[in-house]
Structure 1
Amino acid sequence: MELRLYQQEAKAAIFSEWDKGNLKTLLVLPTGTGKTIVFAKVAEECVRTGERVLIMAHRAELLEQAADKIKKATGLICSVEKAEQSCLGSWYRVIVGSVQSLTREKRLQQFDTDYFDTIIVDEAHHSISDSYQNVLQYFNEAKVLGVTATPDRSDMRDLGQYFNSLAYEYTLPRAIKEGYLSKIKAQTIPLKLDLTGVGMQNGDFKAADLDTALDPYLYQIAQEMLKYCSDRKTVVFLPLVKTSQKFRDILNEVGLGLRAAEVNGNSMDRSEVLQDFEQGKYNVLCNSMLLTEGWDCPSVDCVVVLRPTKVRSLYCQMVGRGTRLSPRKEDLLILDFLWHMERHELCRPAHLIATTEEIAQKMTEKIENDPCPLDIEAVEKQASDDVVAAREEALAKKLAEMKKRKRKLVDPLQFEMSIQAEDLSGYVPSFGWEMSPPSEKQIATLEKLGIFPDEIDNAGKAAKLLDRLDKRRSEGLTTPKQIRFLESRGFQHVGTWQFEHAKRLIDRIAANGWHIPSGIVPNEYRPGGDT
């Protein structure tokens, strides 16, 4: 099985991190982009060098899926460590293991601590839990790869307590743009759902409180779904099993094109219902968070999230049930609602691709104020432009203040805006070392290169800036000092210019008594337009 380009890049990046000594590294791939195939190929490479590999997950479906994909992708057969099955004595070098079984002390003690050379954790956002840590700490000399769909920042901070690095991240917007995932449209339903009385538990909304808050709206939601879901294959996520079953009955009562089924952990006929849904006997499938992991139905083209959450990884998993490509499928529609709450932010369609909360808020406003479904990529582009314009306006005011102070160093924000580096201006540290203060060496180097270091409060941002400055130097682009000088005289986005062009222009200004030569209008000037 040939890997796609981004999958090849991911595999190479993982081994590169291990070679550098970062033995606990992360791979982030959106749902539907083949994370199982990537770690299957990683496992194959490890086996080729004589290693024994453990693939660990918390659900039987994930283990079966991993073993099946590994066999198809590599030809390797997996041994199983789960319940009454054991890999001990097996000559197979890849083992799929249930964390619930492995975490039992009596079972762990049967293994030498160096029995596994490499451990791959599927759905790695669970890996901070005590059960996973119990196993990982026991085999503490093994290389570890954690694989997860797009996590939110709080997840990354938590994961950063155990993992040393992020080897590779493939983003949802890039996957859509490159044609590997379905386009996504969002439609806000003008139905205001009051969540002000919902409490919090373990960092997210209490399922029981959500159930109580949601119940009065179920009939209205069903009526709204009639308008959008009759000709789509829809998955609905709800807080509790009893609500999921009740909503199924309401949808079937409403009728007129909606044929609903429901599955939960105790469904005796779960496989049959899922198969009937895939084959079109039902066009709406209700569940209480059962289908967030380990179930694929590419023809799903509508997702209704009636289990609001603050956790972006969970929201991405729910929406991910509909992001895969399928014949005759044009796009994925997300039905969103006007969730009313007092204090807590929750994930909305904008959070799937927005790089900052500021952009997400702008996107949400635009989606809410339009009566038609909107392509979230197009909305993100417009919202990003709006945010950049607002930042540039704020920067102009800041530059005016800086002129009065006549500071010789460049403000980091001015540098980031000038070189049009959204990844720098929106940077948030994830791993422990990134959150620590900048080192004395970093501060001294930044100041030497012309960046005012006092406004950089973490080592991760300092490292990113220094890497970018080094790359710009090798590419022959302008220096921070050139940016400061020319932009203080009204020239714009000097950060996108070549070093030599900026140097020639500064030399002309110096030769003219430090005045702008006649015929040059700074705010209209473009490099290459003069000689």
Structure 2
Amino acid sequence: MQLRDYQEEARTSIQQQWAEGVKKTLLVLPTGCGKTIVFSKVIEDRVKKGERVLVLAHRGELLDQAADKLEKSTGLKTATEKAEQTSIGSWYRVVVGSVQTMMREKRLSQFSKDFFDTIIIDEAHHCISESYQRVLNHFENANVLGVTATPDRGDMKNLGAFFESLAFEYKLPKAIKAGYLSPIKALTIPLQLDLSKVGQQAGDFKSSDLGTALDPYLDSIAEEMWRVAKDRKIVVFLPLVKTSQKFTELLNQKGFRAAEVNGESKDRAEVLADFENDKYNVLCNSMLLTEGWDCPSVDCVVVLRPTKVRSLYSQMVGRGTRLHPGKTELLLLDFLWHTERHELCHPAHLIASNDEVAKAMTKQIEEAAIPLDLEEVEKQAEEDVIAQREEALAKQLAEMKKRKRKLVDPLQFEMSIQAEDLSSYVPSFGWEMGPPSTKQVKALEKMGILPEQIENAGKATKMLERLDRRREQGLTTPKQIRFLEQRGFNHVGTWPFENAKKLIDRIAANGWRIPEGINPKEYKA
């Protein structure tokens, strides 16, 4: 099987991490971008080296999917560690294992600590749990690859406590632009859904409270769905089985062909097959279909299980991002959730570079009343945010004129060069979270940046890399930028170093006054 360019790049990067002695590394790919194919090829590479590999997951569907893809893409067959099935005595070098089975002392003790050379963790955002850690600690010398689709910085921070590096990340906007995933159009449904009384549990909303809070709105939601999506193939995520069943009945009364599946459904496989074959056009579930199920023809996702956890949100939306003949985009329905907290996930959070942009995007989508393409909204929102930052920078510069400072505030520098990756940076891995080293502090001072305003080693590293790159490209220094911006010149962060130097020399020769004939607002370097 021929891998796509980014898949081959991921495969190479993972092997490189292990070769360099980084034992625990992460792969982040959006749902639908072939993470199983990538780790299948990684497994093939390791088996060729004579290694034994364990694929660890928390659900049977994920294990079956991994075994199937592995055989189809590499020809490798697998043994299974799940319930009464065991790999003991098998000559297959790859084992797919259920974490619930493997974590048991009786089962784990049958394997020597060096039995597996490599461990792959599917849906790696679960691996911080005690059950996974018990298995991973037993095989403590194995190389570990965690695979996840989550874009959530919160998750990445948690994962950073276990994993030592991020081997490769492929982001959702890039996958859409490259034509590997469907474009996403978001539409806000103008219903005020009150969640202010819903309680919290394990960092998210309580499912039991959500079900009760949703009940009064279900009929109105069904009507709005009929108005905007009656001709689409829809998956609906709800907080409780009883809410899912009630909503299915309502949808059928409105004219939809709706079905419901849950963990107890004896005919689940049949219902899923009928939905895939268009007997039904709506499938309701209570968070059952977030992982391990694919139906590429789905072109509308309705999230009636509001969440603060981006990994969960992206899993739900990911059920509709795959390509399918005749499918032009995924319609994602959002709602005017009223909550006392402002941490709720919205469509914007799938692709926004930071929370500031996400808020601006969400406002645009809510005010539009028509489906909007997320990428186009992001572009406009980023421009708006930059304009607001420039305005804030002007105020900040006015205040800074009163304070003569030898070194440049890093925030001022970031905004001047429009460095999104620096201003929204959040450390993920242990070494990044510590304070800047003495060497970094000295280097920042030498290059004109006030080091006290840089909180951690990860940010210091990124700042120094950016300063080195700008020096190589012959662009303005922080001190040049501050000097010229204080005198009203615009976009100095994009100027060549030499052009800025010549202008500053002219200003100096003119008694530190701007020479006649130069208008700072209109001046172009």
Distance 1:73 1:518 in 2: 70
Structure 2 match to 1:392: 390
The answer for the alignment partner of 1:241 in structure 2 is 241
Please name the residue that 2:16 is paired with: 16
Q: Whole-Å Cα distance in 1 between the matches of residues 119 and 212 of structure 2? A: 42
Which range moved further: 245-254 or 428-437? 428-437
- C-alpha contact (below 8 Å) 1:417/1:493 kept by paired residues: no
- 2:447 alignment counterpart: 449
SS in 1 for 2:499: helix
| Higher mean C-alpha displacement, 4-13 vs 268-277 | 4-13
Instruction: Name the SS of the counterpart of 1:186 in structure 2.
Output: strand
- Following the alignment from structure 2 to structure 1, what is the Cα–Cα distance between the partners of residues 412 and 339? 36
Q: In structure 2, what is the Cα distance between the partners aligned to 1:268 and 1:223?
A: 30
1:415 aligns with 2:413: yes
Q: Which amino acid aligns with 2:134?
A: N
User: In the aligned structure 2, how far is the partner of 1:344 from the partner of 1:404?
Assistant: 36
Look up the SS of the partner of 1:297 in the other structure: coil
In 2: Cα distance, 1:504 partner to 1:113 partner: 66
The whole-number CA distance in structure 2 between the counterparts of 1:21 and 1:303 is 42
Q: Residue 375 of structure 2 aligns to a residue in which SS?
A: helix
Report the TM-score when normalising by structure 2. Answer: 0.97
| Residue in structure 1 matched with residue 166 of structure 2 by the alignment | 166
Question: In the alignment, what sits opposite 1:524?
Answer: 522
- Cα distance in 2 for partners of 1:269, 1:98 equals 23
Q: Secondary structure at the match of 2:8?
A: helix
Contact 2:275 2:281 in 1 (8 A): yes
The C-alpha deviation readout for 1:305-337, integer Å capped at 9, x for no partner, is 111111000000000000111111011111111
- SS of 1:347 mapped into structure 2: coil
Q: 1:185: how far off?
A: 0.8
Q: Aligned partners of 2:453, 2:171: CA distance in 1, in Å?
A: 29
* 1:226-257 superposed Cα distances (whole Å, 9 cap, x missing partner): 112211000000111111111111111121xx
For residue 280 of structure 2, what is the aligned residue in structure 1?
282
Q: In the alignment, is the contact (CA less than 8 A) between 1:298 and 1:325 conserved in 2?
A: yes
Q: Is the 8 A contact 2:43 2:53 kept in 1?
A: yes
Aligned partner of 2:269 among 263, 271, 281: 271
Other-structure match for 2:72: 72
1:175 aligns to 2:175 (yes or no): yes
Task: Say which SS state the counterpart of residue 420 (structure 1) adopts.
Answer: coil
1:139 to 2:139 alignment: yes
Equivalent AA in structure 2 for residue 506 of structure 1: I
Q: CA deviation at 1:513?
A: 4.1
Deviation at 1:511, TM superposition (A): 4.1
| 1:359 has 2:357 as partner | yes
* Secondary structure in 2 matching 1:231: coil
Q: In 1, distance between residues paired with 2:88 and 2:513?
A: 80
Asked whether the equivalents of residues 164 and 429 of structure 2 are also in contact (C-alpha less than 8 Å), the reply is yes
Shift of 1:12: 2.1
Alignment of 1:239-318 (within 5 A): 239-255=239-255, 258-318=256-316
**CA distance in structure 2 between the aligned counterparts of 1:61 and 1:251, rounded to whole angstroms:** 28
* Range with greater deviation from structure 2 (49-58 or 133-142): 49-58
Deviates more, 1:496-505 or 1:224-233: 496-505
The residue that corresponds to 2:483 in the other structure is 485
Distance in 2 of aligned mates of 1:312 and 1:364: 15
The question of whether the paired residues in 2 share the 8 Å contact of 1:173 and 1:353 is answered with yes
Counterpart-to-counterpart distance in 2, 1:508 and 1:70 = 67
Paired residue type of 1:143:
N
> What SS does the corresponding residue of 1:73 show, helix, strand or coil?
helix
8 Å Cα contact 2:475/2:493 also seen in 1:
yes
Residue 38 of structure 1 deviates from its aligned partner by 1.1
Q: Structure 1 residues 344, 524: closer, same or farther in 2, change over 3 A? A: closer
Deviation at 1:147, TM superposition (A): 0.6
SS at match of 2:213: helix
Cα distance in 1, alignment partners of residues 92 and 474 from structure 2: 53
Following the alignment from structure 1 to structure 2, what is the Cα–Cα distance between the partners of residues 124 and 429? 19
Q: Percent of pairs identical after alignment? A: 72
Aligned residue number for residue 114 of structure 1 = 114
Corresponding residue SS for 1:30: coil
Aligned partner of 1:104: which letter?
R
Distance 1:366 1:299 in 2: 28
Amino acid corresponding to residue 123 of structure 2 in structure 1: E
Indicate whether 1:373 and 2:371 are aligned: yes
Do the aligned partners of residues 476 and 92 (structure 1) sit closer, same or farther apart at CA in structure 2, a change above 3 Å counting? farther
Q: Which segment is superposed worse, 150-159 or 504-513?
A: 504-513
SS of 2:96's partner is strand
Matches within 5 A, 1:35-114: 35-114=35-114
Deviating more after overlay: 311-320 vs 161-170: 161-170
Q: Any conservation in 1 of the 2:238–2:286 contact (CA below 8 Å)?
A: yes
Q: Which deviates further from its counterpart, 186-195 or 90-99? A: 90-99
- 1: CA distance, partners of 2:116 / 2:466: 38
SS at structure 1 position matched to 2:401: helix
Q: Helix, strand or coil for the counterpart of 2:120? A: strand
Report the aligned-residue RMSD.
1.5
- SS of match in other structure, 2:182: coil
Residue number in structure 2 paired with 1:436: 434
Q: Is the 8 A contact 1:433 1:459 kept in 2?
A: yes
Distance of 1:16 and 1:461 partners within structure 2: 24
CA drift at 1:486? 2.6
Secondary structure in structure 2 of the residue aligned to 1:290: coil
Q: CA deviation at 1:410?
A: 1.6
Superposed displacement of residue 344, structure 1: 5.3
Greater mean alpha carbon deviation, residues 17-26 or residues 361-370: 17-26
Report the count of equivalent residues: 525
Q: Secondary structure at the match of 1:354?
A: coil
Q: Which runs of 5+ in 2 are unaligned?
A: none
Q: How far apart, CA to CA, are the structure 1 residues paired with 2:412 and 2:25? A: 33
Letter in 1 for 2:373: D
Secondary structure at 2:402's aligned position in 1? Answer: helix
Deviations 1:128-168 (A, max 9, x none): 00000000011111111111012422212211111112122
The SS at the match of 1:243 is: helix
Post-superposition CA distance 1:91-119 (Å, at most 9, x none): 22222111111101111111111111111
Q: Which amino acid in structure 1 is aligned with residue 460 of structure 2?
A: A
Q: Which amino acid aligns with 2:439?
A: K
Deviation at 1:497, TM superposition (A): 2.4
Q: TM-score, normalised by structure 1?
A: 0.96
Alignment of 1:306-345 (within 5 A): 306-343=304-341, 345=343
Contact 2:407 / 2:479 at 8 angstroms: preserved in 1?
yes
Check conservation: 1:409, 1:484, Cα contact below 8 A: no
In structure 1, runs of 5+ residues without a counterpart are: none
Question: How many angstroms apart in 2 are the aligned matches of 1:172 and 1:423?
Answer: 16
